[in-house]
């Protein structure tokens, strides 16, 4: 894959976002296959689309090729960092900060009820920008709703659905996605941001 890097390294995925968002899903950055296909979570072993259906978040089975249908159910999808790479180790530290500012603008514009970060790594990347406490890499992160919010959107941590993620079983992944579905079924309540630093 790296041999053809010139063919995909400059590709960028389109966000699937529309007004009326209930959930904005945020991945860390596109993989090579996603960049090549032009669709989110397109990796061969990625279970994101299967989890959406089996958790009840969508009423029918869809695949990465249907990602433009997500707004039909009030969902949107984007990435913290737009540059595609074979893995997160290829990302640069400065890209995280720049990605956060871009993500914050999207949240402020579209005002989702929930900001669902797909992967503990994504959450760890934005957490120091959300809270004043020093967070170490060893700080435990539980899946599910968190104490932080961004422009009123509740932060919810989902597991990375990649087949390479050995930290969670499929059952644990499904439980987290199902928990998000239950949260959406509860009466809508907006959460005020904790810190003014999340405002422009």
Domains in the chain, number = 1
Say if residues 74 and 58 touch (Cβ distance below 8 Å): no
**Residue pointed to by tokens 């997160």:** 88
Burial 5-14 (b: 16+ CB within 10 A, else e): eeebeebebe
- In contact, 177 and 52? CB cutoff 8 Å: yes
Identify the CATH number of the domain in which residue 182 sits: 3.40.470.10
In terms of Cα–Cα distance, which of 49, 119, 56 is closest to 87?
A: 119
pTM of structure: 0.86
The pLDDT of 20-31, averaged and rounded, is 94
Mean pLDDT of the chain: 86
Give which of 179, 168, 4 is closest to 86, Cα–Cα: 4
Average pLDDT over residues 18-41: 93
Rounded to whole angstroms, the Cα distance separating 69 from 147 reads: 30
pLDDT at 1: 43
Quote the percentage of the chain above a pLDDT of 70: 86
Can you give the residue range of the structural domain that contains 57?
A: 2-198
């Amino acid at each position: 894959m790296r041999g053809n890097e010139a063919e995909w390294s400059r590709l960028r995925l389109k966000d699937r976002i529309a007004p009326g968002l209930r959930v904005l899903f945020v991945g860390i950055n596109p993989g090579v296959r996603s960049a090549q296909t032009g669709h989110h979570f397109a990796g061969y072993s990625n279970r994101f689309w299967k989890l959406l259906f089996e958790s009840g978040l969508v009423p029918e089975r869809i695949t990465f090729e249907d990602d433009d249908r997500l707004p039909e159910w009030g969902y949107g999808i984007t990435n913290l960092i737009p540059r595609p790479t074979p893995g997160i180790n290829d990302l640069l530290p400065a890209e995280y900060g720049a990605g956060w500012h871009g993500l914050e603008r999207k949240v402020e514009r579209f005002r989702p009820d929930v900001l669902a970060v797909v992967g503990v790594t994504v959450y760890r990347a934005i957490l120091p920008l959300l809270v004043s406490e020093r967070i170490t890499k060893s700080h435990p992160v539980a899946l599910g709703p968190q104490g932080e919010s961004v422009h009123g959107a509740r932060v919810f941590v989902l597991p990375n659905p990649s087949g390479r993620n050995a930290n969670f079983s499929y059952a644990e992944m499904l439980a987290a996605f199902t928990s998000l579905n239950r949260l959406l079924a509860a009466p809508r309540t907006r959460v005020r941001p904790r810190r003014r630093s999340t405002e422009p």
